[in-house]
Structure 1
Amino acid sequence: MTLPITPITEDDIAQYLANTPGFFERHAELLASVTFASPHGQRAVSLHERQAEMLREKIKLLEQRVMEMVRHSGENTAIAAKMHQWARQLAGVRWAAEVPQAVEQGIRTLFDVPQVALRVWGVAPAHLNAPFTQGVSEDVRAFASSLTAPFCGPNLGFEATAWLPDAQEARSLALLPLREGAIDSAESPAFGLVVLASHDAQRFEASMGTDFLVRMAELASSALSRLQ
């Protein structure tokens, strides 16, 4: 009885070559005779040339990644320097009632944010009638306390956008809760909310990194806690 012959597949050939490293040493002439279509034209290239092209492509991709890393490093260094400058400005504010204005102005000028607004609650009696305590509903307070990270995304008509100078121009938002301690401390209720807004719909998007926004929120929280 003749057994059926199982055809050899490409996987079988690939596995054989992987398990037989001396094959091309014994058949070196194959390396020179095998050709491939070049992705950069219609001409045929040898195996060695194709490997060299692939290596050049990998090197080019690595160079692009290195350049991106250098660019991001420079951007992060610049933002860190601005954050330090902002912290110095806030620490130098003499009167507690002037801190909210210093927070807003610092964000606008140092970080180039077109519109900034904030509100705080639970303040000392001396600040109860200040502009930065007005127009805060229970819903806004509950929403701020529910945030354990900055919200970034399109303007969905949040109530807090009414605090902005020109809410109609706000196409993307970053909402930063203010609370004692770390921003992700859900056990600690928020005592305020900062609204950052831009006419650019891509300025604050859901997929953006929020590390610096977290630091911004925690620094603002520390400075504004003087109002309590």
Structure 2
Amino acid sequence: MTTTSIPTSSNVPPITEDDIAEFLVNTPDFFERHAEVLASVTITSPHGHRAVSLHERQAEMLREKIKGLEQRVMEMVRHSGENTSISDRTHEWARRMLAVKEPIRLPDAVEEGMRELFDVPQVALRVWGVSAVYGGETFAQGVSDDARAFASSLTSPFCGANMGFEPTQWLPEAGQVQSLALLPLRDGNIDSTEPAFGLLVLGSQDASRFDAAMGTDLLTRMAELASSALSRLR
């Protein structure tokens, strides 16, 4: 608050704006005794910089506050709808994996669910340490020791730009991928110290689809669901 002095006689300390503000705060009935003063007060409106009465300005502030609250409510409703949709799709994805009777069909169920339910353009999956009966399958081949070590180093999903990681090459059209998510698969929680036994790769031509700043809670839950289902291959 400014401290502009109001001129007074030379032998009296000047009255400042702070003094006036303090007086009004401590004397709430001032405007009740001097209603004509309140009615005559005008201030500058932020809309067009015209002079308006204090009552009108208070009404404007109230309308702005109500508008802000309405926007917040609409955002909450929208987010609630989005969360319900995501929850439904995640449930359907888990249901499909649970319905698979033959373990060899699980990788296809995981990938197809990602493409169909979550609209992920490119999906790839690799699992290692599988039972010998599945050793010749595509999902169990083409993984270097470095890629396995990299997967084990991830204690949460990686989201970000395509930086040329080896797992990106597993995607069908790797050259078009601008952003990707890498979901390590391991026994127990994703952040455990257990070595990863697989990696789920999600790729998109949209550079902002898997942004480095995005939250990974949902991807973490997806990784844990896929891990539980794919453990039947080991």
- TM-score for the superposition, normalised by structure 2: 0.89
Name the SS of the counterpart of 2:184 in structure 1: strand
| Structure-to-structure mapping, 1:1-228, within 5 angstroms | 9-185=16-192, 187-228=193-234
Detail structure 1 runs of 4+ shifted over 2 Å in the superposition.
4-30
The DSSP-based 3-state class of the residue aligned with 2:214 is coil
User: Which stretches in structure 1 are left out of the alignment for 5+ residues?
Assistant: none
Question: Identity over aligned residues, as a percent?
Answer: 71
Q: CA deviation at 1:21?
A: 2.5
Structure 2 CA distance for partners of 1:179 and 1:13, relative to 1, 3 Å = farther
Q: C-alpha distance in 2, partners of 1:53/1:224?
A: 59
Which stretches in structure 2 are left out of the alignment for 5+ residues?
1-10
> For the residues of structure 1 that align with 2:162 and 2:21, how far apart are their CA atoms?
55
CA distance in 2, matches of 1:153, 1:27: 64
* Partner deviation per Cα, 1:14-35 (whole Å, 9 max, x = no partner): 3443333333333332321211
* Per-residue CA distance 1:130-189 (angstroms, 9 max, x = gap): 21122212222222122222111111111110100001111011111111122222x222
Distance 1:5 1:149 in 2: 70
Task: Determine the C-alpha separation between the residues in 1 that align with 2:170 and 2:188.
Answer: 25
Distance 2:13 2:217 in 1: 58
RMSD over aligned CA atoms reads: 2.0
Shift of 1:96: 0.9
Deviates more, 1:145-154 or 1:214-223: 145-154
One-letter amino acid of the structure 1 residue matched with residue 145 of structure 2:
E
Q: Distance in 2 between matches of 1:147 and 1:122?
A: 18
Distance 1:131 1:97 in 2: 11
Three-state SS of the structure 2 residue aligned to 1:58 is: helix
Distance 1:27 1:78, change over 3 A: same
Kindly indicate whether structure 1 or structure 2 has the higher relative contact order, using CA contacts under 8 Å at least 6 residues apart.
1
Amino acid at match of 1:193: L
The CA distance in 2 between the partners of 1:147 and 1:26, in whole Å, is 71
What is the deviation of 1:7? 5.4
